């Protein structure tokens, strides 16, 4: 297999996912099959090919540095699952 269960578990932490035992098993075999298929690209001679990150060769787009209204704080916070009057709230990460 192209990827081990252990690797899949590590990637799930990087991806901020938590997979059940059953999901881990299925993910390992499905990712394995897909990664094996990706090996097809080894056939392609890409020497000298400029990586194409974007469909358009546009250069940087500038706009005047002018002050404009941005999203109102109340609107920005309106969809937060947990908040107070001015902040997003998250579980404590520091100290005990």
Alpha carbon of 12 to those of 15, 36, 55, 91: distances in Å? 5, 19, 30, 21
Binding of residue 37 to another protein (CB under 8 A)? yes
Q: Are the CB atoms for 28 and 1 separated by under 8 Å?
A: yes
Write down the least CB distance from residue 54 to another protein, Å: 5
| Among positions 49, 65, 67, 70, the unique one binding another protein when judged by CB under 8 A | 49
| Among positions 1, 4, 73, 88, the unique one binding another protein when judged by CB under 8 A | 88
Binding of residue 85 to another protein (CB under 8 A)? no
The C-alpha atoms of residue 77 and residue 30 are separated, in whole angstroms, by: 39
The C-alpha atoms of residue 27 and residue 9 are separated, in whole angstroms, by: 10
Write down the least CB distance from residue 87 to another protein, Å: 10
Site for another protein in 1-30 (CB under 8 A): 3, 7-8, 11-19, 23, 27, 30
């Amino acid at each position: 297999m192209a990827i081990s269960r252990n690797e899949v578990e590590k990637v799930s932490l990087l991806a901020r996912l938590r997979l059940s035992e059953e999901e881990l098993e299925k993910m390992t075999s499905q990712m394995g099959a897909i990664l094996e298929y990706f090996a097809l690209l080894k056939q392609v001679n890409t020497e000298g090919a400029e990586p194409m990150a974007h469909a358009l060769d546009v250069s940087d787009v500038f706009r005047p540095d002018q002050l404009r209204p941005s999203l109102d704080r109340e609107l920005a916070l309106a969809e937060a699952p947990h908040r107070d009057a001015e902040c997003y709230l998250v579980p404590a990460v520091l100290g005990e």
